[in-house]
Amino acid sequence: MNILEFYQQTYTYDTGNNLTNLSHQAKSNTWQQTLTIHPNSNRGTENNNQNNFDTNGNLLNLNNIGNLEWYYNNTLNKLTKADKPNTTQYYVYDYQGNRIRTVIESNHQVQSQRDYLPSLDLSINQAK
């Protein structure tokens, strides 16, 4: 099974060179993110989802991808995929904030684990 695939991302900008649209197309998933810019500045405006960011500015939801949870130090804690609500990716960090492990769990069973070492990545796939 190959989990890598080709994709295309298209960016749209307004006349002030502000990003207004991001479109992602791949065989497995297609999504679009629209950003609204205030007409009298180059600042983004509030979107319809008031809870899209936490108080530290961390993104809480990626359209069509999933929900994100963050640790107090703004490192990613977990991702729950939108298309697989019983599948969660957990992230573990060392004291310097470097990611050292990713664990994928489905239906409360560990499916795979990846450990990041200075010159080596170790992956264990436990899915049957």
pTM of the model: 0.59
The two three-digit tokens of residue 13, written as one number = 């900008």
The larger pLDDT score, comparing residue 39 to residue 19, is at 19
> Are 83 and 22 part of one and the same domain?
no
CA distance 53 to 70: 11
88: three-class secondary structure by DSSP: strand
How many CB atoms sit inside 10 A of residue 15's CB?
5
Per-residue exposure over 32-63, b if at least 16 CB sit within 10 Å of its own CB, e if not:
eeeeebeeeeeeeeeeeeeeeeeeeeeeeeee
> Are 33 and 64 part of one and the same domain?
no
> Are 35 and 57 part of one and the same domain?
no
> Are 39 and 57 part of one and the same domain?
no
pLDDT digit string, tens, across residues 83-115 = 888 999 999 999 999 999 999 999 989 999 999
What does the DSSP 8-state code read for residue 43? Answer: P
Q: What is the pLDDT of residue 74?
A: 92
